[in-house]
């Protein structure tokens, strides 16, 4: 019994010890979690003051408060450089925290290694400073692409190359790669101080460096390689190192192969834009927005800045004042809306996300109730850089999202781009309004069905449909002094410019005939001079074909060059009349008198003519086959015994059946006239 009692006592004590151990482990895990959260939150909170330090110092260097002495600029440059170094360390801590909690998601795609290494080495070159160290890209141009997250792979290579630069005083740093199936194997080698063999495994651990003295001499948190290792492992790769003290080191990593090719680097990425800053070296990439130059966009652009941090307001004010923008500031969402209620209509809003009482998301929601994204660009500025934060911002209605600390060059580029897009949108809306006005004018000047029915001698039906909102086709029919005047024309192209020229022609034809000018040949010559002079003044390359017809008592006079005039006899026989020798293209040369002539047709009761533009005969079906003149003549012949309206509708229906699902590329105009 004593033995059993003692055994029970021992087991009980072991159970208590295990419970205490479990409790201690739980407390340790909780402590570790709190430590990570503290690091992440502290790093997050550091971004706002860092952004202020860097931003104000940079704007002072750029002359926000006037020209400064050279020594002052040097001191400020050192502040900027130190601030950026601290910001980089903060980013390392945040990345480490996110990696530890598995909060980083990769955006995988084919990545060209040679091009990416070019970027990394170019941006790392200033770190070499005066050291006799060469940076070498030894990757073959035809090497297959890696399947990776481009930004994270660039971060990996920056860490490895910058690490190599730190520990290499002379010689070279080479980046190479080769296919080692089923992976790509990259190597960053240097001729630096090397690493002792017993330290090789530990260098990838958090907060570790080969020697404490190295940290003091070369700086750093000891997180760079730990982050690099975790990022490589996220890519399903591995990383290891080989080294000889005094000879150099090699960092080798593997990446998945991609079966596809990478997209080329954007044309606006300029590798040559790197700067050295004072005693410490920094790199600033300058990304220029497409289609924009370096001059301020326009002085009258009003930018509303909303931020509860006075430092941030000052930084942004300094940045923008250098670009001659008109700046309005508000320290809260409520104050911003008070300004708007007083009549402020900003051209762009820079909006902080984390503000008391009314967040940037809420301000964005409310602004979108008043203005659409294309009317008022909103750029959210925040120290939060999680994917879900970006999604929330865009879902709220923001146009863009920038994380702090904000690069001045990137901010200016984004602002210019959004203002440029806003200007384009406004211009497009103006043009749409002009197009709508022109379209309505076109519909107004076309003869109405009632007007055509008033012409007792002829049965007339007209049809015109533009390929776009505004077309370049034109027809007109009107009575004057017992004559029926008919015109049909086709301006080159379609759209606003063609539509405006068509309106000019319509107005000119009616004005010339209305002035008492009865001769069609003389009218065509005069019209050509007017159109030619206007086209030259407009610096336009537009011109048109135009036929003028005069009908009275069965006699039809034709003049001017256009498509065939289809003379349809009462027995349904269709006779195409070529107009090539009856005129010349209108608006191409100043004088066409020698080209213009007339032709007369005698129409018997039941005879008629069909006029059309090439949008009908050249209409394509999905197999790219034209409708054609022959088919048009067949349809006319088969249905000539019907009224003009039925003939017109039958022709258009047949053309539409031919076109099917094919896009319509040209305006279509048709005019059917039958002698009663």
User: 380 CB contacts (<8 Å, ≥6 apart)?
Assistant: 351, 352, 353, 360, 364, 393, 398, 400, 401, 402
Mean pLDDT value across residues 445-471: 83
Provide the pLDDT confidence category of residue 414 given band limits of 50, 70 and 90: confident
Looking at per-residue pLDDT, the higher value among 606 and 321 belongs to 606
pLDDT at residue 445 tops 50: yes
Provide the pLDDT confidence category of residue 465 given band limits of 50, 70 and 90: confident
544's tokens: 């048109």
Looking at per-residue pLDDT, the higher value among 483 and 12 belongs to 483
108-256 in CATH: which number?
Answer: 3.30.565.10
287 DSSP 8-state letter: B
Q: Which of 46-55, 142-151, 432-441 has the lowest mean pLDDT?
A: 432-441
> What CATH architecture applies to the domain 446-675?
4-Layer Sandwich (3.60)
Per-residue pLDDT, 446:
81
pLDDT at residue 286 tops 60: no
For the chain, percent of residues with pLDDT exceeding 90 = 35
Cα distances (angstroms) measured from residue 384 to each of 34, 49, 162, 352: 19, 14, 26, 11
14 DSSP 8-state letter: H
Q: Which of 198-207, 328-337, 631-640 has the lowest mean pLDDT?
A: 198-207
Per-residue pLDDT, 571:
94
Distance CA 327, CA 336 (A): 13
> What CATH architecture applies to the domain 302-429?
3-Layer(aba) Sandwich (3.40)
Whether residue 429 contacts residue 399, with contact meaning beta carbons closer than 8 Å, is answered with no
Per-residue pLDDT, 268:
40
Per-residue pLDDT, 577:
95
Per-residue pLDDT, 220:
47
Mean pLDDT value across residues 277-298: 35
Mean pLDDT value across residues 652-671: 89
Q: Report the greatest alpha carbon distance in the chain.
A: 141
Per-residue pLDDT, 130:
80
Helix, strand or coil, per DSSP, at residue 369: coil
Provide the pLDDT confidence category of residue 28 given band limits of 50, 70 and 90: low
637 backbone dihedrals φ, ψ, rounded to 5°: -60, -40
- Using alpha carbons, select from 161, 155, 409, 174 the residue that is nearest to residue 273: 409
Mean pLDDT of the chain: 80
Helix, strand or coil, per DSSP, at residue 152: helix
Per-residue pLDDT, 222:
58
pLDDT tens string 541-592 = 888 899 999 999 999 999 999 999 999 999 999 999 999 999 999 888 988 9
Distance CA 502, CA 476 (A): 11
pLDDT at residue 181 tops 90: no
Neighbour count for residue 374 (Cβ, 10 Å): 15
pLDDT tens string 378-410 = 999 887 666 677 778 888 888 888 887 777 888
pLDDT tens string 338-350 = 999 999 999 999 9
pLDDT at residue 323 tops 60: yes
pLDDT tens string 143-173 = 999 999 888 898 899 889 988 998 898 999 9
Domain ranges of the chain: 23-100, 108-256, 302-429, 446-675
Looking at per-residue pLDDT, the higher value among 367 and 515 belongs to 367
23-100 in CATH: which number?
Answer: 1.10.287.130
Provide the pLDDT confidence category of residue 199 given band limits of 50, 70 and 90: confident
Looking at per-residue pLDDT, the higher value among 130 and 293 belongs to 130
pLDDT tens string 207-235 = 444 444 333 334 444 577 888 888 899 89
Provide the pLDDT confidence category of residue 206 given band limits of 50, 70 and 90: low
Per-residue pLDDT, 298:
46
pLDDT at residue 469 tops 70: no
Whether residue 666 contacts residue 467, with contact meaning beta carbons closer than 8 Å, is answered with yes
Distance CA 114, CA 118 (A): 6
281-285, 411-415, 428-432, 550-554, range with greatest mean pLDDT: 550-554
Detail the DSSP E strand segments found in 297-448. Answer: 302-306, 326-330, 348-352, 378-382, 400-403
CA quadruple 430, 433, 434, 435: dihedral positive or negative? positive
670 backbone dihedrals φ, ψ, rounded to 5°: -145, 135
Per-residue pLDDT, 329:
93
Neighbour count for residue 315 (Cβ, 10 Å): 28
pLDDT at residue 622 tops 80: yes
Mean pLDDT value across residues 534-544: 81
Helix, strand or coil, per DSSP, at residue 278: coil
Per-residue pLDDT, 272:
47
What is the pairing mode between strands 248-256 and 326-330? Answer: unpaired
Mutual orientation of helices 2-61 and 408-445 as an angle, nearest 10°? 70
Provide the pLDDT confidence category of residue 290 given band limits of 50, 70 and 90: very low
pLDDT tens string 476-526 = 998 888 889 999 988 887 666 777 777 778 778 877 777 766 677 888 888
Cis check: omega of the bond before 242, within 30 degrees of 0: no
Neighbour count for residue 235 (Cβ, 10 Å): 22
Q: Please write down the long-range contacts of 34-40, taking CB distance under 8 Å and 24 or more positions apart.
A: 36/97, 36/100, 36/101, 39/93, 39/96, 39/97, 40/93, 40/94, 40/97, 40/98
Per-residue pLDDT, 17:
66
What is the pairing mode between strands 400-403 and 348-352? Answer: unpaired
């Amino acid at each position: 019994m004593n033995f059993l009692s003692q055994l029970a006592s021992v087991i009980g004590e072991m159970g208590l010890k295990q419970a205490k151990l479990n409790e201690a482990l739980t407390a340790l895990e909780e402590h570790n979690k709190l430590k990570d959260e503290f690091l992440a939150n502290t790093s997050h909170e550091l971004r706002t003051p860092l952004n202020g330090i860097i931003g104000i110092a940079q704007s002072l260097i750029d002359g926000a408060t006037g020209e400064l002495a050279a020594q002052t600029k040097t001191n400020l440059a050192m502040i900027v450089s130190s601030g950026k170094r601290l910001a980089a360390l903060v980013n390392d801590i945040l990345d480490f925290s996110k990696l530890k909690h598995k909060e980083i998601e990769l955006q995988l795609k084919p990545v060209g290694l040679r091009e990416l290494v070019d970027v990394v080495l170019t941006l790392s070159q200033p770190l070499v400073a005066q050291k006799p160290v060469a940076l070498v890209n030894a990757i073959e141009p035809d090497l297959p692409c890696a399947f990776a997250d481009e930004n994270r792979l660039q971060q990996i290579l920056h860490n490895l190359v910058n690490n190599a630069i730190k520990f290499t005083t002379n010689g070279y740093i080479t980046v190479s790669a080769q296919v080692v199936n089923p992976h790509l194997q990259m190597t960053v080698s240097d001729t630096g101080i090397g690493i002792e063999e017993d330290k090789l495994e530990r260098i990838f651990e958090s907060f570790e460096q080969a020697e404490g003295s190295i940290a003091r001499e070369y700086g750093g948190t000891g997180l760079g390689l730990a982050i690099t290792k975790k990022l490589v492992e996220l890519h399903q790769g591995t990383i290891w190192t080989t080294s000889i003290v005094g000879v150099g080191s090699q960092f080798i990593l593997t990446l998945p192969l991609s079966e596809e090719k990478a997209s080329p680097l954007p044309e606006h990425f300029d590798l040559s834009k790197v700067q050295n800053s004072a005693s410490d070296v920094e790199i600033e990439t300058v990304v220029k927005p497409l289609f924009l130059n370096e001059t301020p966009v326009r002085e009258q652009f009003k930018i509303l800045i909303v931020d509860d941090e006075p430092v941030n307001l000052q930084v942004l004010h300094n940045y923008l004042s250098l670009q001659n923008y008109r700046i309005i500031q508000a320290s809260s969402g409520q104050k911003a809306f008070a300004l708007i209620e007083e009549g402020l209509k900003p051209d762009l809003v820079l909006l902080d996300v984390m503000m008391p009482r009314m967040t940037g998301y809420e301000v964005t929601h409310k602004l979108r109730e008043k203005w659409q994204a294309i009317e008022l660009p909103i750029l959210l500025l925040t120290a939060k850089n999680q994917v879900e934060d970006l999604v929330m911002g865009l879902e709220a209605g923001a146009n863009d999202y920038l994380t702090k600390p904000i690069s001045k060059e990137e901010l200016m580029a984004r602002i210019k781009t959004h203002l440029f897009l806003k200007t384009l949108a406004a211009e497009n809306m103006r043009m749409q309004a002009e197009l709508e006005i022109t379209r309505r004018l076109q519909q107004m000047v076309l003869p109405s069905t009632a007007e055509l029915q008033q012409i007792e001698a002829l049965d007339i039906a007209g049809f015109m449909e533009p390929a776009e909102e505004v077309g370049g086709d034109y027809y007109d029919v009107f009575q004057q002094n017992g004559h029926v005047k008919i015109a049909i024309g086709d301006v080159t192209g379609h759209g606003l410019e063609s539509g405006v020229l068509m309106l000019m022609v319509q107005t000119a034809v009616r004005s010339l005939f209305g002035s008492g000018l009865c001769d069609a040949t003389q009218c065509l010559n005069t019209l050509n001079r007017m159109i030619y002079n206007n086209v030259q003044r407009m610096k336009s390359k537009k011109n048109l074909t135009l036929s003028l017809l005069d009908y009275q008592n069965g006699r039809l006079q034709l003049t001017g060059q256009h498509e065939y005039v289809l003379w349809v006899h009462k027995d349904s026989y269709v006779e195409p009349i070529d107009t090539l020798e009856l005129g010349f293209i209108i608006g191409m040369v100043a004088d066409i008198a020698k080209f213009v002539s007339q032709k007369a047709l005698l129409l018997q009761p039941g005879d008629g003519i069909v006029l059309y533009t090439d949008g009908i005969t050249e209409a394509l079906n999905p197999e790219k086959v034209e409708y054609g003149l022959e088919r048009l003549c067949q349809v006319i012949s088969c249905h000539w015994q019907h009224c003009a309206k039925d003939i017109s509708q039958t022709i258009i229906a047949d053309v539409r059946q031919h076109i099917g699902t094919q896009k319509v590329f040209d305006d279509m105009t048709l005019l059917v006239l039958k002698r009663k």
